[in-house]
Chains A and B, each alone.
Chain A
Amino acid sequence: MIHPIPPGTRDILPDEMRELRRLHLALIEVFEDRGYGEVTTPAIEYDEVLARGDGRTADSAYRFFDERGDLLALRSDMTVPIARLVASRFADAEGPLRFCYLANAFRAVRPQRGQMREFAQAGVELIGAPAPTGTVEVIEVLEGALDAAGLDRAVIGLGDADLFRQLLAELGVEGDERNTILSRLATHDLVGLEQELSRAGIGAKQVDTCVALSQLRGGREVLDEARKIGGTAVERATARIGETFEALEARGAAERVQVDLGLLRDLGYYSGAILEVYDPALGHVLGGGGRYDSLLERFGVDLPAAGFALYLERVHVAKLEEESRRGAPS
């Protein structure tokens, strides 16, 4: 007899589980070696507490009442629960704090798209270490994780979450108009972006500048190209990215980092550096992260923070692809 399970969930059978477990262990070993202690938090939390972290999207798709009538929610990532944990238990601890996790999170899916409602994430949170040193450390841990997974072709995109927010403010675009433009940028709808910018009353030349800026990605030369464009917002963002990139270069850790001024992640809590991870073997993003220096403040502890999360199953698929590619005669 067939008993269905909800779309976007799955059973994992022994062969795959064995490989996944090996990958789990390899990643956690990298994290632990660098001083990141593993934590687990409950899969269900009070909705009110999760919404405090990310009120804009209130990402948790699954909410329900418990026997007392309290509204509970399934976590949609681990960053917000760990911010909650730090505020409740480590508010007075000597920083910086280092935590890692391997946990399942839950998000809404669109039907028939092969998206997962329940997925495993492996990641770290570094709390109390400001930019750029904290960001550099997180990127180095991420590189260690990608090496441990055998993804030697993976690339880390490094951008700045504040660039376009500040640039639009500089151009006098505020409120709804600004949010519409930012959402066009986040989905990289360049045709729509151009239309919205013109609609906001920005001159043709500045529209071209914004669009060109969003397409700047590559090595450090990208920063020079951006600086030519000028303006306070661009100056500040390129200085922030440049500082991080130079520190990585000095440590010989910049080789797989791609500067990307068009990077914009849609999670509400990012500020400053943002990261995304790609591997040529997979058409989807493997993971991401960045800085969220104001997230902890929402929980009553004013500490800078940064981190990343990798989608474990995607990393596993990319790992298998890379292995079969390496094994295949060229």
Chain B
Amino acid sequence: MNVEVAGTAAAKPDGPLKLAVPRGALLGDTLNVLDAAGVDTTAVRGESRALIFPGEEITLVTMRPSDVPTYVEAGAADVGITGKDVLLEQSDRMVYELLDLDYGRCRMVLAGRRGDERLGEAQRRLGMMRIATKYPRIAERHFESTGRQIETIEVKGSVELAPLIGLADGIVDLVATGRTLEENDLEVREEIVECTARFVANRVAHKLRAEEIDDLTAKLREATAR
């Protein structure tokens, strides 16, 4: 490391590439895809509680999916993987979205209580709906672009609770199988957007470590080819 050959120093930032890996629901598929792309993930799969897993060419850094754009934008991580839902909600974060990885597929939906007309009724009578969500910006953008007004109620935990006990008329949330909705007597009313895992890069790293990032992008594309 830090070996400099005159003239090439400018183009060769030091150290292995730092890749932000999302913990949680995306972790399993992410590790499989990384394996298929030739990135060693054995250490992350172990019992270790460490957050950083150094490697020869790539260092893996694990974090919450919603933190990935923050770290990548600042350049603390050079590249990362996170869900499109996170990128849409944090669309003002300046990260380069390089590749649709095509796993972790789920839908952002508007849901209400089954057979309950409160959503339509509120819209008709008050011209306004109360929507509980963890994704206030996605929700606001969706209703704004369809010409409706909502009052967003941001919640952190189980969003399904909100319409059940009268906090909101409906919810905007991410749905994978739809089971949670079903079990809570909720149904999908509108589909807002489909989300998958995405490969993102820091703006400066994309320029200064072009070769490494292009190489990793190509391997990931191959690993996730339909």
- Listed in ascending order, the chain A residues whose CB lies under 8 Å from chain B are 110, 113, 152-155, 157, 187-192, 215, 217-218, 255-256, 258, 260, 276, 278-280, 282-285, 330
Contacts and interface: CB of A to CB of B under 8 A. Distances in A.
B143 to A, nearest CB: 21
B210 A152 contact: no
Given A191-B198, A282-B204, A284-B75, A255 B10 contact: yes
Interface of B: 1-3, 7, 9-11, 13-14, 73-76, 92, 94, 96-100, 198, 202-208, 210-211, 214
A307 B9 CA distance: 26
A191 B100 contact: yes
Contacts of A154: 10
22 contacts: A152-B9, A153-B9, A154-B10, A187-B94, A188-B98, A189-B96, A190-B97, A191-B100, A192-B97, A217-B207, A218-B210, A258-B11, A278-B204, A280-B13, A280-B204, A280-B208, A282-B204, A283-B73, A283-B205, A284-B74, A284-B75, A285-B203
B203 A188 contact: yes
B6 to A, nearest CB: 10
Given A191-B198, A283-B73, A155 B10 contact: yes
A190 B214 CA distance: 13
Given A217-B207, A330-B1, 6 more contacts: A187-B94, A189-B96, A255-B10, A283-B76, A284-B203, A330-B3
A285 B74 CA distance: 10
B13 A153 contact: yes
B96 A188 contact: yes
Given A190-B98, A217-B210, A153 B10 contact: yes
B224 to A, nearest CB: 12
Contacts of B74: 283-284
Contacts, number: 71
A147 to B, nearest CB: 12
Q: Sorted from nearest, which 8 A-B pairs have the closest CB atoms? A: A283-B75, A280-B13, A330-B2, A188-B96, A189-B97, A278-B204, A191-B100, A153-B10
Given A155-B208, A255-B7, A280 B14 contact: yes
A155 B10 CA distance: 7
B14 to A, nearest CB: 7
A212 B219 CA distance: 16
A280 B198 CA distance: 24
A171 B198 CA distance: 28
A99 B100 CA distance: 46
Contacts of B92: 110, 113
A108 B173 CA distance: 30
B99 A190 contact: yes
Contacts of B7: 255
B208 A191 contact: no
A285 B204 contact: yes
Nearest to B217: A215
B68 to A, nearest CB: 14
A256 B10 contact: yes
Contacts of B73: 283
Contacts of B2: 330
Contact of B97 (A191, A256, A282): A191
A303 B50 CA distance: 59
